[in-house]
Structure 1
């Protein structure tokens, strides 16, 4: 029997947690057993992009100091690209279960009925805020405000300057605050940290525990940073690309110093648990501390990231834990450390790391971690996958992330590495360990079948409900349903039938027709050269909503690039 995580699960979770909090309040909950939680998640900062991993060029003094005071999980893994990591981190589940497939073109929409860490902590009495990058869907019911965050300050899509927020810049970026457009002042990373600190101050004054998800878009491209940050690195002989990345990370490091100092000055340090980590390997070629590969690869350089756990007076300073751990483990770990009950109906893939962090246990039972990601909305068995154990890694078709139409061989292309002796993955020992290969391949095949059975790889559904989101902005590049590189429309549910105004971002100033194909019926309205809107009667229902503008005398254009061409604003009139 398949178990789907519907709104009923969220309702059940809410009842359980509310009752738990009532009992906790009666018993007297202290800050010690309900710590504040801060997760700092950076974007494209690889394992080697910190000083404490012996990078000879980068300057990260505050992170280096944090590492000396923290527990470091030295073998911490994330997915090889960002949206899958974020889905797994926030749900404790393998991202294929959540509706997320990859990073764009309809693949980064988490199902609205997923239960997030923010929702669980919010129901347990925490004040929740996100500052930075969400990247799990920009429409109801997938937005952060729909998924447990009471305060939101985010950019849309996968990054600042990507559609639908174009044009935009890392300097004074246009953001979205609690659902409304927000013109910020300053550099993006500074803005996110400053707003997070203000949020923390308000919760401290109200004597309420808080959860801050501080997910920067730095050092993701575009590599925009003040010259004063990157020029010194270029003067050391680094190329401009690397210099800019390191400059962005130096700015990030300064903000981490500001955050940690603020915790000390405000007296919050001992009642606040801080997790710092990256979301995947580096996008560009640079120092990786000897690890092979980078972003999108399932070699160690693509999926192994820095991870620090800091809680003064509770975690041991400077300890290194070399047991494998991953993004899926943070939710169950934080539920334990915050004394937040986990609903029994909620299936998690991660394990609770708190016994390792508190020192009550030296080793957890051995297990396997699974990773896979590639372009296209229908994952292919064996493509760009890895199974990681304490000793071995089995890799399948490595380096094929961008190949949407990979011709798989009857016998899959496999590699095996003994990570205990070869963390740089230089020697393929496939033929020396046939039984290990057989076992790990069997595990992978069972895992892939289970992932497919969960939701059949169906991305989250955009719900057109003007009571929840008004208007609905449909971004073609980020959220459209793509086949063979072009958008065919959007998978939506229209809650209420009625008259809708449709405004389209046109590709041309010529006159033509605005077409709407919905529920098996195609209609159109003529638009003059200066017009971009028309009104249509739309039925309630679920399916593919295809909207396009076709210029007079020309064939239809199927835009597939990262631009706003073909984006639609949908407003219910009555």
Structure 2
């Protein structure tokens, strides 16, 4: 079928999603410092969802966008400690589009599982170029990137091309955009879905001086000069993408979505007026990422489809990442799955202007996030209607109620004045949380085990992003203790390689698999130890690895106990 006929029937899809980008980071949203001419252009050419509630953290927002379901249904309840792995039985947007003739590519941050069968390449994307875990250089990323965390890991990183590690030259956002452009060029004559998910402007704030100097010269502090430099680099890359669509004659046929996964990190401040140069501007919105206040969840959300969506138009109805899945499938003429609950709604009538926002049916959006293996009732939850938000930061605190129409900056808690409304919204939340927990029955929120002993991925690299924590949790690798839940698909010999950071003291390296344990000596400077020819029975297994040092380690919470940073499990397949 000719390209022109195909694209008249169904658009190409380009989703551009940032990491940690705040509502107020863009000049078109009033930031007096940032230089974002390409995003300002996209803003002028798009319909804007001004009440789009994303987040409040990375993996939950991405799970909802990819499935059309609240993240608590998908096993993705957090960003690490095994809580950010998408259940392989979920059906993704990429799978739905690919099954109906779309070419699919993902570039940048996936953060929904680093091992088979939870990688982007396993869940509907044909072409992938991604980093592991939540960010380049984090403890869950490739071992070569980790030592450069906080210094230069965003330059010349090791990335995963279709599941295999390769080193790339250049700056991460540029590399991912190059890959997205190449994918679009290759499939210009076919319907395509390109997913560009940058890890910028998430910390560490690594960017070339040529991008940050503009803001230093304004007198902006170093933190925000780097951050705004990262935003300007994003803008430049978005401009490259939009220009290439124009050059290829694809702009009219491509539905572009630009958004962020949640609000800003802790470098922002709660403000009700434009802040000075020493603070991150967020248009007066209260809160940062991780909170349910507007500053934590309200992000840019631009939808451009020339001839279908009006330019420079605001739509103020509440929306959420769960709505992306059903809206895009409707735009492409693809039916929704009928074997599972889809929580989102089709926004096409709003986006096309076929229905006045004032006549749009009332709806309620629910949100909850916090650390831990199981959602705790009333801890950091929100119930959001078109007018009101019920929110409780912690179960030990009272409910807060805000009138978001009269009080968009959430200055005045009106819960005491409306006890009946508080009770009604809280009851809706209770019913919602019960439904989320019932999605898969008992054990809903447990992460899926990681398979070993398959030809889909061998060896398997296990990282601290996907382990299960014993005791306290956090990001200081020496202050943690954890294990991995695995499924051995095959009996037989395995080779296990354990890697520690480079400066750990000498001692004995231990490997425990269920109730069996092996040990080997490691001297100073030996940070990699291999256990060959181990027999694992097929089925579920629990693996833990650590180093018992000869002397106390001053950086370790458990003194002589140093957990493994990486464990590689290789199945010695016959033949």
TM-score (normalised: structure 1): 0.89
Q: Helix, strand or coil: the match of 1:246?
A: helix
Matches within 5 A, 1:35-50: 35-50=11-26
Does the 8 Å CA contact 2:513/2:541 hold for their aligned counterparts? no
Rate the CA distance shift 1:101–1:359 in 2: closer, same or farther, 3 A.
same
Q: Can you list the C-alpha shifts for 1:165-208, whole angstroms capped at 9, x where unaligned?
A: 2134111221111111121121111111111111101101xx21
Counterpart residue number, 1:187: 171
After TM superposition, the structure 1 stretch with the greater mean CA deviation from structure 2, 521-530 or 128-137, is: 521-530
Does the 8 Å CA contact 1:559/1:566 hold for their aligned counterparts? no
Alignment partner for residue 496 of structure 1, among 483, 486, 490? 490
Counterpart residue number, 2:241: 259
Does the 8 Å CA contact 2:507/2:547 hold for their aligned counterparts? no
TM-score (normalised: structure 2): 0.89
Matches of 1:295 and 1:371, distance apart in 2: 13
Q: Helix, strand or coil: the match of 1:48?
A: helix
Matches of 2:481 and 2:113, distance apart in 1: 16
Q: Can you list the C-alpha shifts for 1:200-237, whole angstroms capped at 9, x where unaligned?
A: 01101xx2110000000110001011112112112212
Residue 167 (structure 1) aligned with residue 130 (structure 2): no
Rate the CA distance shift 1:259–1:42 in 2: closer, same or farther, 3 A.
same
Residue 457 (structure 1) aligned with residue 445 (structure 2): yes
Residue 515 (structure 1) shift: 2.5
Counterpart residue number, 1:54: 30
Residue 389 (structure 1) aligned with residue 376 (structure 2): no
After TM superposition, the structure 1 stretch with the greater mean CA deviation from structure 2, 63-72 or 525-534, is: 525-534
Residue 103 (structure 1) aligned with residue 79 (structure 2): yes
Q: Which runs of 5+ in 2 are unaligned?
A: 269-279, 474-479
Alignment partner for residue 514 of structure 1, among 510, 514, 518? 510
Alignment partner for residue 313 of structure 2, among 312, 319, 324? 319
Matches of 2:516 and 2:193, distance apart in 1: 47
Matches of 1:372 and 1:150, distance apart in 2: 32
Does the 8 Å CA contact 1:109/1:461 hold for their aligned counterparts? no
Matches of 1:250 and 1:63, distance apart in 2: 10
Rate the CA distance shift 1:506–1:48 in 2: closer, same or farther, 3 A.
closer
Counterpart residue number, 2:364: 368
Counterpart residue number, 1:418: 403
Residue 435 (structure 1) shift: 1.4
Q: Helix, strand or coil: the match of 2:6?
A: coil
Q: Can you list the C-alpha shifts for 1:452-482, whole angstroms capped at 9, x where unaligned?
A: 222431123211133111101110x200001
Matches of 2:453 and 2:570, distance apart in 1: 10
Rate the CA distance shift 1:302–1:443 in 2: closer, same or farther, 3 A.
same
Alignment partner for residue 149 of structure 1, among 125, 135, 159? 125
Matches of 1:564 and 1:289, distance apart in 2: 43
Residue 342 (structure 1) shift: 1.6
Rate the CA distance shift 1:145–1:126 in 2: closer, same or farther, 3 A.
same
Matches within 5 A, 1:187-206: 187-204=171-188
Does the 8 Å CA contact 1:328/1:350 hold for their aligned counterparts? yes
Matches of 1:345 and 1:415, distance apart in 2: 37
After TM superposition, the structure 1 stretch with the greater mean CA deviation from structure 2, 274-283 or 256-265, is: 256-265
Matches of 2:568 and 2:236, distance apart in 1: 39
Does the 8 Å CA contact 1:504/1:549 hold for their aligned counterparts? no
Counterpart residue number, 2:530: 533
Counterpart residue number, 1:131: 107
Matches of 2:20 and 2:179, distance apart in 1: 22
Rate the CA distance shift 1:248–1:349 in 2: closer, same or farther, 3 A.
same
Matches of 1:465 and 1:450, distance apart in 2: 35
Superposition RMSD in Å:
2.1
Rate the CA distance shift 1:452–1:275 in 2: closer, same or farther, 3 A.
same
Residue 436 (structure 1) aligned with residue 421 (structure 2): yes
Rate the CA distance shift 1:558–1:545 in 2: closer, same or farther, 3 A.
farther
Matches within 5 A, 1:557-572: 565-572=564-571
Q: Helix, strand or coil: the match of 2:465?
A: helix
Residue 129 (structure 1) shift: 0.3
Q: Can you list the C-alpha shifts for 1:310-330, whole angstroms capped at 9, x where unaligned?
A: 011221111110000111100
Rate the CA distance shift 1:123–1:487 in 2: closer, same or farther, 3 A.
farther
After TM superposition, the structure 1 stretch with the greater mean CA deviation from structure 2, 300-309 or 528-537, is: 528-537
Q: Can you list the C-alpha shifts for 1:469-507, whole angstroms capped at 9, x where unaligned?
A: 1101110x2000013223331111111111111110136
Q: Which runs of 5+ in 1 are unaligned?
A: 1-24, 401-407
Matches within 5 A, 1:347-362: 347-362=341-356
**How many residues are paired up?**
530
Matches of 1:337 and 1:559, distance apart in 2: 55
Residue 516 (structure 1) shift: 1.7
Q: Helix, strand or coil: the match of 2:186?
A: helix
